[in-house]
Structure 1
């Protein structure tokens, strides 16, 4: 009994109790309302690519030709789903467990490298922040890579810096985890290389041979994947949807880690400053680990940054998660092991602040737990039931397989749900809506690129009576008839409106001398603008962007009515954003994308989705005008610019809102 008591006392110390509380807190934050967690788009993509009858098809169709990630996680999911089923919680469970175990391994590494204070801070910054929590709730290769990267470094530390005790066991663990990292993600593969080469600097001579051999074995284990890697390399990056990083990427990354919260930023700064007050007495002895942790994160970040800028965009927050723990360890590595009371106070204060901002400022459990894909269908079904099936036209743009998944889950008949991509271009969409006898129109979409469909819809259904938004998804309900409610207002709040109808004009427009058209056409008795061979550019609108918008999530809609007397014009409706004479965004829509008949007054539209534009420039100016590039003759009227609220939470999981 005495031996057992001594044994337990060894583990029942303040640091281990604090670690246990951190782990429990991290687990609760990850498992809260777990069965309600939806699949993300990336998860759906991987999920659908597990539905093959054999391993060969999985590799060829599920990885080699359709994915840019290594095969490891896809193969794991293939067999996991075969064994345990397709339900969301079951698919996500291993990754959530990896996320919890990561807390412990980070503590162990930081404690071994520096001291238990640094270990507790490393565990804390993994347990309670949205960044690692989110990726612990996503069945993709990020949190798994973080876990196995840390586990690899744990074994590597014991191999390179440890005694001969359990040497070959640690060497085996290093090889296995290194190979798993190589098959997990290209950035965790890069960390394997960084760690491996780092060991050559520190490993003792008597271990050098076996250490080099371990690296060779990891490479040999990766050889079967080389043909897949070669094919994927030809695919390039994901630049069709991921923009190149800007110089402020790292600052944005830190803001994201700290919940975009001033409170979290202040607390973190105080913690860092306190590290120099309670400065480590073992600075020289631990400096090698300080250098390693800084180097591993910095090299990963800089490689991703410069590759993205000069080759193909690959850098995003997710790919930095493998070295994120080492960034945390470096930042707090200057601490000596402080008193238990200080640890308790720091952990309680930081945990409280983090949970508060996670729930109430980042709204994680609302925004991340509501699947816009599903909510759009639920809202559509409600409206159809309330208004009657024959009174509602429903146009939804959702990824096809995701759409089918939720139709089956919700048991909704999808026969009368139209996809704008199947309807056709802007002209065909307008004609489609004109043929509808329904009084109501639903438009819902996820990440739809052509917001002009929305304002085309308003030509026929001018009253927006409902708007709902979720992460990267929108739902709108329109009516042909103005609602009887006295307090009715357009559902997408209008922030700014200015118009030039060539009788008079609002703020920001160039002056123009209006002319009358010839009598007997649509514009009789109306003052309009005629563009012809003498006018390449129309008068336009100019303003400082900050004067007409409220937030970076606003949407700008530019419209003009036009009539082509003889032939269809090839003119362009243009919008330009400039900062100090540098063009930061230029876009245009062709008139003939909206007008297919001469002698008919129709509207041309251009949408500017501000969330997709980098607005981190000083003194941005906006200009819009018509470019009559072929010097054709046509008439225009009612040139207008409208700024609307848009979707305030469109990219809320990764950006401030």
Structure 2
């Protein structure tokens, strides 16, 4: 008869346990291999790849690390890795993929030492199959190696500090001191929040240190700090270019529940199912006295990482992201797994819970979250393929293209892989002057088709209205998460409807008319020192419906001899005549050709949760009292693609 696993509540033979572990590792490896091979490189991965393309290591540090906000470890690995094996996407991700698969095993190994077989297998099954852990296991970024280093350090720390957890120590203590110290060094050189985790681990050791370990522990700590000294100069340089955060939004009070929902595939039903079992189980653990020091340590490490990131984000600059908590969230899984074990341990063949977790997690990730068929982040490979396909289908010379990305090298990486050079006429349209130049460029084009693509980069929605005036037909589109491609044409059958609202201001009648014709050049109105407010349009937001992603555009032609002026187009959403949201466009930013008629566009997204009390209010405001001529005042409201839903 097979030996029973050493767990007082979970009855399973070692053979069954090893079969379950092998199945978990197999499923986890398969999901990660397919993801690493099939998914586009992300913006951050392409950024790291681009910043590694320098002839010398010192140039890479100066130009590729100082401008980043991560330690140099992973960027250094990438620098040498692509020189040795090349930059094929799958090969590029291999070290991170390997780290991710090994992490699944380490979660099991550590979980078994701390809590027993059920919690170990259950936590490994969760980590193996849910999208959050899969994606960050394969991204060529610091997350997978950082977590791997952290778990190795904790495993070695457990062997050194808690010999009662070791049944068969085959290695001398010196070996584990080397493993512990080198893994902690790895944490400090990988990511600043894997450094935070390592700091929490180091501080925890002070509460459990024995006299016979004190000397080795402090020597190890000194070695870790000395090994970080080369990073200190880099850290200071990075702080010199700005804070380590600041480009993110501040976290709300519900950030932690949102994170827990996210790690379980953003599924309320899956999250509720796990918490309904785990929370009563944890409470019962505490009441029964079975809550032990490892539960406390694991929960403390998770909360330490969370509170460090959260409080820094509140009181200094926002740095917290879900990925920030990647280095400590396995310990949250241990707590949940322990609670569930307490509830299900009395069931006959309770190991089937682990098997069901593996099956449900895998099925939900693949079929509900559509890991391999729906983009989970801004893509580049898919966009490059779309552009190549459309230019070849309609004729390269007949399709002009604009691509909005943070760095053209990111998308050019995939064009080089496709051995294709697109007909790009402009990159990265962000500010108002670039938008005005784009408007003038459109007027000069004779090509019958126009492709607009973007990924992971803000783009002015005014471009959509400009394009649809020149190319009114939307022939094709592919909307991904935080990225999209659109093909417009001068003629043909559009795949989407015209704007649901399109009205012009009739100067002669002084009223707004639905779908009217543009005024003749001779029909215009003026604003001056006696007339500072122009015509305005008001309408309850509830009249536009509450579904869809609605774009509101105010368009106006203007002419002035002045180069500087204080006049604007205003869009506000009011309640009881008080603006709840106020947006304005300075016409001075659009005034590139004084003395000539110029066209200004101003687009804003209508709040998607429509408050029936809010009133749309769009008007002209000539604060400076300048003499300005206006005509063709138009307002359009149209459905468009939500960039964060695909």
Runs (4+) of structure 1 moved beyond 6 Å? 5-11, 578-584, 613-621
Alignment partner of 1:324 is 2:329: yes
Check the 8 A contact 1:559/1:641 in 2, yes or no: yes
Quick check: 1:189 aligned with 2:195? yes
Q: Equivalent residues in 2 for 1:97-136 (5 A)? A: 97-136=98-137
Taking a change above 3 Å as real, the CA distance of residues 54 and 619 of structure 1, as seen in their structure-2 partners, is: farther
Aligned pairs, how many?
A: 622
Deviation at 1:241, TM superposition (A): 4.2
- 1:588 corresponds, among 584, 591, 594, to 584
Separation in 2, partners of 1:205, 1:636: 85
Q: Does the C-alpha gap of structure 1 residues 6 and 114 become closer, same or farther in structure 2, counting only changes over 3 Å?
A: closer
| Structure 1 unmatched runs, 5+ | 508-518
- SS, match of residue 39 in structure 1: coil
Aligned residue for 2:490? Answer: 480
**Deviation string for 1:195-249 (max 9, x for gaps)?**
1111111222332232222222211221222111111222334656422223332
| Superposed displacement of residue 605, structure 1 | 1.7
2:341 aligned with 1:344: no
Q: Is the 8 A contact 2:429 2:460 kept in 1?
A: no
Alignment partner, residue 304 of structure 2: 299
1:559 to 530, 554, 559: 554
Shift in alpha-carbon separation, 1:419–1:154, aligned structure 2, 3 A? same
Return closer, same or farther for 1:91/1:345 CA change in 2, 3 Å cut-off: same
Structure-to-structure mapping, 1:468-617, within 5 angstroms: 468-481=478-491, 483=492, 488-489=493-494, 491=496, 496-497=500-501, 499=503, 501-502=505-506, 504-505=511-512, 522-523=522-523, 533-536=530-533, 539-541=536-538, 543-544=540-541, 548-551=545-548, 554-564=549-559, 567=562, 570-576=566-572, 586-596=582-592, 602-608=598-604
Q: Name 1:175's counterpart in structure 2.
A: 181
- 2: CA distance, partners of 1:432 / 1:506: 30
2:439 paired with 1:442? no
How far does residue 581 in structure 1 lie from its aligned partner after superposition?
A: 11
> How high is the TM-score relative to the length of structure 1?
0.84
The aligned residue for residue 13 of structure 1 is: 15
2:141 alignment partner in structure 1: 140
Q: What are the superposed Cα offsets for residues 243-267 of structure 1, whole Å, 9 maximum, x if unpaired?
A: 2223332232222112222331232
SS at match of 2:152: helix
Alpha-carbon distance in structure 1 between the residues aligned to 2:574 and 2:20:
53
CA 73–596 in structure 1, closer or farther in 2 if over 3 Å, else same: closer
Give per-residue Cα distances to partners, 1:145-175, cap 9 Å, x unaligned: 1111111111112222225964333222211
Q: Is the 8 A contact 2:429 2:435 kept in 1?
A: no
Instruction: Tell me the distance in 2 between the aligned counterparts of 1:606 and 1:480.
Output: 23
Q: Does 1:220 align with 2:226?
A: yes
Inter-partner Cα distance in structure 1 for 2:596 and 2:225: 68
How many angstroms apart in 2 are the aligned matches of 1:582 and 1:298?
42
CA contact (8 A) 2:527 2:626 kept: no
Cα RMSD between the aligned structures?
Answer: 3.7
Give the match for residue 9 of structure 2: none
Within the candidate set 191, 199, 210, 1:204 is matched to 210
Of 617, 626, 635 in structure 2, the residue corresponding to residue 632 of structure 1 is 626
Q: CA deviation at 1:451?
A: 2.4
SS in 2 for 1:365: coil
Distance 2:273 2:13 in 1: 30
1:432 and 2:436 equivalent? Answer: no
**TM-score, normalised by the number of residues in structure 2:** 0.85
User: 2:42·2:380 contact (CA, 8 Å) conserved in 1?
Assistant: no
